[in-house]
Amino acid sequence: MIELANVTHGYGDRPVLHDISLRLTERRIGLIGANGSGKSTLARLLNGLILPDSGQVLVDGLDTMKQGRAVRRKVGFVFPDAGTQIIMPTVAEDVTVGLRNRGLSKEEVAARVTDVLARYGLADHHDHAAHLLSGGQKQMLALAAVLVTEPEILVCDEPTTLLDRRNVRTVMETLRTLPQQVILLTHQLETLDDFDRVLVVGEGRVVFDGSPGNAIDHYIESIDAGAVPVGDQAGEPIRDL
């Protein structure tokens, strides 16, 4: 279980998150909000990728400030652009990286890698160049590389944004069948239909916390309130969606 107590976070002297307190216990939680509202910042606080300026983030009682390494083993994080998360030349090597320094034998590592690639539809790509995979396959690889480490909680920052509908469905079906708690950041509200809880972030605060069905109005309101119209040449403001 992740608990945030009076968490604030900013960059430089610019505050971004204001006094957030939450207990995240549900199995499937969606996090939505306008661009720049602070969703990614909130997500990155959940596994200690960044630390609160004040307040506390606890994962099963472990403080991200003091026990960051243990927290990062519990909470897997999938970045929005799978391409940047893929760091090794081949598919199998990329999945192997996360298993380093875990005291596993070579055989055990190889078996886990083979198993996870099969589970996420990448068995035929074991020795292929990772950068040559399709967008959907890269996203599955990024997911596989995190899931192979068996995190208890998975935070996914917009994992379906760059994907076509078929791949969105594949990734969402995968997320739905995982035994882990999943916290999903997305702009695709329809993917959250059967989620247990949706949080809408607006200007660094949680402006709605409830069921997916009721989140939509608050999402639209938060976008209207928080959008920075940049204006196009014709003078029509363009909403920052």
Task: Determine how β-strand 14-24 pairs with β-strand 2-11.
Answer: antiparallel
Q: Verify binding: residue 37, ligand ADP, rule CB under 6 A.
A: yes
Per rule CB under 6 A, is residue 186 in the interface with ligand ADP? no
Indicate whether 9 belongs to the interface with ligand ADP (CB under 6 A): no
Nearer CB in complex with ligand ADP: 36/135 = 36
CA distance 58 to 5: 8
Tell me: does residue 8 bind ligand ADP (CB under 6 A). Answer: no
Phi-psi bin for 19: left (phi > 0), alpha (psi -120 to 50), beta? left
Please select the residue that binds ligand ADP; options are 24, 29, 40, 148, rule is CB under 6 A: 40
Query: Interface with ligand ADP includes 239 (CB under 6 A)?
Result: no
The SS3 call for residue 192 is helix
Bridge partners, residue 73, by sequence? none
Query: Which CB atom, from 41 or from 170, has the smaller least distance to ligand ADP?
Result: 41
Instruction: Name the minimum Å distance from CB 157 to ligand ADP.
Output: 7
Is 56 a residue that touches ligand ADP (CB under 6 A)?
A: no
Could you say whether residue 33 binds ligand ADP (CB under 6 A)? yes
Can you list the positions of beta strands (E) in the chain? 2-11, 14-24, 28-33, 54-59, 62-63, 75-78, 153-157, 181-185, 197-202, 205-210
Asked whether the beta carbons of 77 and 47 are under 8 A apart, the reply is yes
Among 35, 67, 149, 188, the residue binding ligand ADP under the rule CB under 6 A is 35
85 lies in the binding site for ligand ADP (CB under 6 A): no
Q: Is 11 in the site for ligand ADP (CB under 6 A)?
A: yes
Please count the residues of this chain forming the interface with ligand ADP, following the rule CB under 6 A.
10
CA dihedral in degrees (126, 75, 20, 63; nearest 10)?
A: -150
Q: Which residues contact ligand ADP (rule: CB under 6 A)?
A: 11, 16, 33, 35-41
